């Protein structure tokens, strides 16, 4: 006779439960997260365990700053926030640089930070810190999971907060004992994000302003676009012969070769766009505002009589300066959806103004000769040879420094998110962002241009590139100095060089040690062959490649 075993009710119930850490991972999956960038810590082991068999790829990084930068870059490229996970205390401190980048660049990002056990709080436990005091002024929200049953809700709220209104970073603290608790695995649904849109009043005001203007100028920027929205705007601008400039380090929303594109505006702006903000009689900012960098330190376009339309979902207009004639509360794509239905007769003055500025931009962006010169290696030669062979969907990533100006001038950004950079001027961004871009878009050519000083801040993440198969082309421009600071120094303290000079390692050998291709170039004659060899290594060996370009000091893109 077969004996039946009756399972206790509590045992059956236990089988239906999951740890809060696993529920956090499940919630991220339902929100469309494909990748998380982590530096592991014992404080969030249960979340790491939940990632073990999930559909989310776990990218293990070498430094929390690199992980945070990768997540921030991910947030720039995609329609869901980038995700980073770090441990308490020192780990959280190291990640702060990426958080500041996300705050100033308006990038949706969620930083999960493992915390000490709940019962150890306020006893100065190992690596204890006050997460809200640390991050409250540099994040949209700081939340702590103090009740395990709210795990899915907290994640949904964090994802919503990162995307709602002006995008930005959110920090979520995870006490290590709380995330191990068993809870019902019911998942909180996604919270819809308001998109805004043009009202009838907005429509009439904008149409009237455009009809009255002779030199209208759109300035586009931010990270809240889709390719569809960017394409629709570019087509409308071209149809109406209206000019568009790009926010600093945010090129590609209007394609580089568009007849409406007239160049970037920001620090070190090229001469063709230097006077645009004062000359135009109607400025329309979409996805960004006239802040510090665009207005050259709150100096340009400050006359209260100027006509400025600001299209942003942020009703507080954080970071803006100068006159505000009208605000349209809308995310870029929704604004464009309404704008393209506005058909206006093209004024001859629009066409003349746009063609003049476009001619200046084409002259500025014309490639230098590809033929090498005699003497030391030159960035002009490298850019000329590289750009001529780039595919239509090529991407470029940048950190901070004068080396970035070669990309601003020459790199053909043809799509949205084809330029990833730190608009807060943060160094060390180039390598992590290139890795994130290569992992997100494995079929695209990803190029990063790093300065010698900037490369050494996160160059160790090339080990991450090798581990996960990222294949960027890394160009290290080695001029043995912190070039931007030297420029300021020469301006304010001429002929008194102090604290800006560098003695560098063999970057090509470092690349080889990390498992990639590396080549050093000192003579301009060797540039074309080195570039060919690097691209061949990427395409045939499926590895990253680094060109160590040793250049003269004080040679700049413009």
pLDDT tens, position by position, 440-455: 999 899 999 999 999 9
Question: How far apart, in whole angstroms, are the C-alpha atoms of residue 309 and residue 307?
Answer: 7
| Alpha carbons 470 and 281: distance in angstroms, whole number | 46
What pLDDT is attached to residue 1?
43
Which residues touch 409 (CB under 8 Å, ≥6 apart)?
A: 270, 364, 365, 383, 557, 558
pLDDT at 4: 45
Q: Is the confidence at residue 2, as pLDDT, over 50?
A: no
- 308 and 242 in contact (C-beta within 8 Å)? no
> What is the chain's mean pLDDT, rounded?
93
Distances (CA, A) of 426 to 216, 253, 400, 462: 32, 22, 6, 19
Phi/psi of residue 366, each to 5°?
-60, 130
For residues 81 and 169, give the distance between their C-alpha atoms in angstroms, rounded to a whole number: 8
**What's the average model confidence in pLDDT over 354-381?**
95
Question: What integer pLDDT is reported at residue 555 of this predicted model?
Answer: 79
Query: Residues 265-295: pLDDT tens digits?
Result: 987 677 667 788 889 999 999 999 999 989 8
**Whether the Cβ atoms of residue 33 and residue 162 lie closer than 8 Å to each other:** no
- Residue 454 CB contacts under 8 Å (≥ 6 apart), including other chains: 399, 400, 401, 403, 427, 428, 429, 430
N-to-C CA span, the chain: 91
Per residue in 61-116, pLDDT (tens digit) is 999 999 999 999 999 999 999 999 999 999 999 999 999 999 999 999 999 999 98
Average pLDDT over residues 135-147: 95
The 10 Å CB-count burial string (b at 16+, else e) for 537-547 is bbeeeebbbbb
Nearest-5° angle of CA 358, CA 289, CA 109? Answer: 110
Q: 207 or 117, which is more confident? A: 207
Q: What is the largest CA-CA distance in the chain?
A: 100
With a cut of 90, say whether residue 5 has pLDDT above it. no
The pLDDT of 456-478, averaged and rounded, is 97
Query: What distances in angstroms separate CA 505 from CA 320, 342, 433, 550, one per listed residue?
Result: 42, 57, 22, 11
Helical packing angle, 151-163 and 20-30, nearest 10°: 40
Mean pLDDT of 169-196: 96
């Amino acid at each position: 006779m077969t004996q039946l075993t009756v399972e206790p009710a509590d045992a059956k119930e236990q089988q239906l439960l999951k740890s809060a850490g696993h529920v956090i991972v499940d919630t991220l999956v339902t929100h469309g997260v494909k990748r998380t960038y982590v530096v592991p810590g014992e404080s969030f082991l249960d979340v790491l365990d939940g990632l073990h068999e999930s559909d989310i790829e776990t990218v293990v990084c070498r430094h929390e700053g690199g992980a945070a930068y990768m997540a921030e870059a991910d947030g720039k490229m995609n329609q869901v926030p980038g995700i980073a996970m770090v441990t308490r205390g020192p780990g959280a401190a190291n990640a702060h640089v990426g958080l500041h980048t996300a705050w100033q660049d308006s990038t949706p990002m969620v930083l999960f930070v493992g915390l000490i056990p709940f019962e150890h709080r306020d006893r100065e436990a190992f690596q204890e810190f006050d997460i809200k005091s640390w991050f409250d002024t540099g994040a949209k929200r700081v939340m702590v999971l103090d009740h395990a049953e709210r795990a899915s809700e907290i994640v949904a709220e964090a994802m919503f907060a990162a995307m709602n209104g002006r995008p930005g970073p959110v920090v979520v603290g995870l006490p290590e004992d709380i995330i191990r608790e068993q809870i019902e695995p019911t998942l909180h649904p996604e919270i819809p994000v308001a998109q805004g849109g043009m009202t009838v009043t907005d429509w009439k005001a904008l149409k009237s302003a455009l009809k009255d203007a002779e030199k209208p100028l759109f300035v586009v920027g931010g990270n809240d676009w889709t390719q569809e929205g960017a394409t629709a705007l570019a087509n409308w601008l071209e149809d109406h012969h209206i000019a568009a400039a790009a926010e600093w380090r945010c090129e590609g929303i209007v394609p580089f070769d568009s007849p409406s594109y007239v160049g970037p505006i920001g620090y070190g702006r090229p001469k063709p766009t230097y006077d645009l903000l004062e000359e135009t009689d109607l400025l329309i900012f979409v996805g960004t505002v006239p802040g510090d960098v665009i207005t050259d330190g709150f100096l340009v376009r400050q006359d209260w009589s100027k006509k400025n339309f600001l299209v942003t979902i942020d009703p507080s207009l954080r970071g803006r300066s100068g006159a505000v004639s009208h605000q349209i509360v809308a995310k870029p794509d929704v604004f464009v959806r309404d704008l393209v239905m506005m058909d206006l007769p093209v004024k001859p003055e629009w066409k003349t103004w746009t063609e003049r500025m476009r001619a200046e931009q084409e002259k500025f962006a014309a490639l230098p000769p590809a033929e090498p010169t005699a003497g030391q290696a030159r960035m002009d030669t490298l850019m000329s040879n590289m750009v001529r062979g780039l595919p239509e969907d090529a991407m470029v990533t940048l950190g901070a420094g004068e080396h970035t100006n070669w990309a601003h001038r020459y790199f053909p950004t043809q799509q949205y998110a084809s330029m990833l950079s730190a608009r807060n001027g943060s160094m060390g961004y180039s390598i992590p962002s290139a890795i994130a871009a290569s992992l997100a878009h494995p079929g695209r050519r990803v190029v990063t241009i790093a300065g010698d000083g900037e490369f050494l801040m996160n160059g160790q993440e090339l080990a991450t590139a090798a581990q996960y198969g990222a294949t960027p082309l890394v160009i290290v421009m080695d001029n043995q100095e912190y070039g931007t600071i030297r420029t300021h120094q020469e301006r304010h303290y001429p002929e008194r060089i102090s604290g800006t000079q560098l003695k560098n390692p063999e970057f090509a050998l470092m690349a080889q040690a990390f498992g990639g291709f590396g080549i050093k170039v000192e003579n301009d004659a060797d540039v074309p062959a080195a570039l060919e060899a690097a691209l061949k290594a990427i395409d045939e060996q499926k590895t990253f490649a680094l060109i160590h370009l040793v250049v003269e000091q004080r040679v700049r893109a413009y």
